[in-house]
Amino acid sequence: MEPLLIVDDSEDIRKQLKWGLAKQWEVFLARDASEAFPLFEEHRPKVVILDLGLPPHEESTEEGFRCLDFFLKTIPSTKVIVVTGQNERANALKAIQMSAYDFYRKPIDLKELKIIIERAMHLANIEEENATLQKACGSCVEEMGGMVGMCPPMEKVFSTIRKIAPSDASVLVIGESGTGKELVARAIHKLSNRKEARFVAINCGAIPENLLESELFGVEKGSFTGAFTQVQGKVEYAHEGTLLLDEIGEMPLSLQVKLLRFLQEKTIQRVGGRKDIEVDARVIAATNVDIVRAIKEGKFREDLYYRLGVINLTLPPLRERGDDILLLANLFLKKFSEKSNKKATGFSKAASEFIMSYEWPGNVREMENRIQRALIMCEASLIGLNDLGFTDGSEGAALMPMTLREARDRVDYDMLVSANEKFKGNISKISEALGVSRTALYDLMKKHGISNKGL
């Protein structure tokens, strides 16, 4: 069981809380700072319940704030729940300003307090897990130019990149849209002997056919009307560096012949030119097209495929990356939180479960966009399902048809979760916002298992 420290000068309250909370957590009790500090340092609880009026200054908050300061300076991630009297709002707000997690007014209601503790524990566990994962993959992120992954398929990708980077062999990177094919190409370049030279990328599917040849191979002055100057193409510009031909499967057959000549002879001719120009550029191609099928359909040259794919590297789709899914989600959350100054610190349990089960047809790119959107939309400290843009009618949600009763239950659940996140487990505010009595609210939360989910 997780340790939970309770600091209160009232023996009756300490006994009441231990009796009510000991089944879920390993409870440690202290009546003042002299008892609390050693227990905190020994057991390092993620959550502390702290009464501000402690000996030897029970009539003031001096000792309580001293304890709060000690806990947060010792372990800044500690979630301290401050317990105050009914007329001590100013002290509660001061505690929040000092980075206390939450405050709770006496008299104590065990059901309400449990919900706050569960949320605090859930958040603390999320933060701890994120820190561990980020530390574990930190060196890989730096080495691989921003790519993150700890699952076996990605470890295989990273291993292959390390092996092939020092060579000059052509590489064909295969993967669905949004899986990070350009990041792979940049990582290969970064680890190669060409890293000091240019990395040049061109999307073969985004440029009209009549312009693609001049973009790739350049133009000689006077070769056609409007060609007033000599222009280098992307191939020539990548001399001594690395050239990424993205979406190579979209390249017209007429240009495939010219590209094949360059790969074989390492020379090009600009549009309208007659002179062979030697170019030393490593070529990496990327595609989400089934090249073997395209060859059978006569859309892609087989000899070019073998020239490009001296080494084939296949990227796994996000849905096949296991725990990497949540790792990436939390890294994007941290990245966009820092940029937007929002204080969302994690995902609700419902959102986490959905993130893991969702198919992610747009892969990492889709996840990045959804999390950026969620941070803009969210109002609570934890991002919920609705913040991510997922509803019963969401594309890809793959929900089974529901009965009317099931639909009502789902709406009840989503509204309870949203209100619970928004009001941080404050039962009075939740019941008021949802227009139900406290008794009815407890029954609904019990029915949907929310109080036991650490939302």
- Domain shared by 60 and 76, yes or no: yes
Residue 341 within a domain: yes
- Position with higher pLDDT, 314 vs 226: 314
Non-local (6+) Cβ contacts of 385 within 8 A are 348, 350, 351, 354, 391, 414, 417
Mean per-residue pLDDT, 128-133: 70
- Domain shared by 303 and 183, yes or no: yes
Final residue in a domain of this structure, among 298, 315, 332: 315
- We report the CATH number of the domain holding residue 20 as 3.40.50.2300
C-alpha Rg value of the chain to the nearest Å? 30
Q: What integer best gives the mean pLDDT of the chain?
A: 85
Q: Tell me, what's the pLDDT at 307?
A: 94
Residue 146 within a domain: no
How does pLDDT run across 50-89, given as a tens digit for each residue?
998 888 887 888 899 999 999 999 998 899 999 887 667 7
Does residue 361 have a cis peptide bond before it, meaning omega lies within 30 degrees of 0?
A: no
Q: How many domains does the chain have?
A: 3
Q: Tell me, what's the pLDDT at 138?
A: 55
- Domain shared by 110 and 180, yes or no: no
First and final C-alpha spacing in the chain: 18
Q: Tell me, what's the pLDDT at 151?
A: 86
- Domain shared by 272 and 398, yes or no: no
Final residue in a domain of this structure, among 82, 110, 127: 127
- Domain shared by 105 and 169, yes or no: no
Residue 343: give the domain boundaries. 321-452
Q: Tell me, what's the pLDDT at 224?
A: 63
Q: Which residues pair with 21 in a beta bridge?
A: none
Copy the structure tokens of residue 129: 């897990």
- We report the CATH number of the domain holding residue 306 as 3.40.50.300
- Domain shared by 175 and 283, yes or no: yes
Residue 334 within a domain: yes
Residue 141 within a domain: no
pTM for the model: 0.64
- Cα–Cα distances (Å) from 344 to 299, 366, 391, 422, in that order, read 48, 19, 20, 11
- Domain shared by 65 and 32, yes or no: yes
Residue 147 within a domain: no
How does pLDDT run across 333-369, given as a tens digit for each residue?
888 887 777 767 778 778 888 898 899 999 999 999 9
Q: Tell me, what's the pLDDT at 137?
A: 57
Closest of 74, 123, 87 to residue 102, by C-alpha:
123
Final residue in a domain of this structure, among 283, 315, 347: 315
Residue 132 within a domain: no
Counting residues of the chain whose pLDDT is more than 70, the rounded percentage is 88
The per-type count for the chain, helices as H runs and strands as E runs, is 18, 14
**pLDDT reading at 306 higher than 50:** yes
- Domain shared by 186 and 103, yes or no: no
Residue 60 within a domain: yes
**pLDDT reading at 423 higher than 80:** no
Residue 123 within a domain: yes
- Domain shared by 363 and 421, yes or no: yes
Residue with tokens 């973009």: 215
How does pLDDT run across 307-327, given as a tens digit for each residue?
999 999 999 999 999 888 988
| Residue-wise burial string across 298-318, b where 16 or more C-beta atoms lie within 10 A, e elsewhere | ebbbeebbebbbebebebbbb
Q: Tell me, what's the pLDDT at 392?
A: 43
How does pLDDT run across 362-393, given as a tens digit for each residue?
999 999 999 988 888 887 777 888 888 876 44
- Position with higher pLDDT, 107 vs 11: 11
How does pLDDT run across 396-420, given as a tens digit for each residue?
443 333 455 555 666 677 778 777 7
- Domain shared by 310 and 325, yes or no: no
- Domain shared by 51 and 102, yes or no: yes
- Domain shared by 60 and 87, yes or no: yes
Q: Which residues pair with 267 in a beta bridge?
A: 278
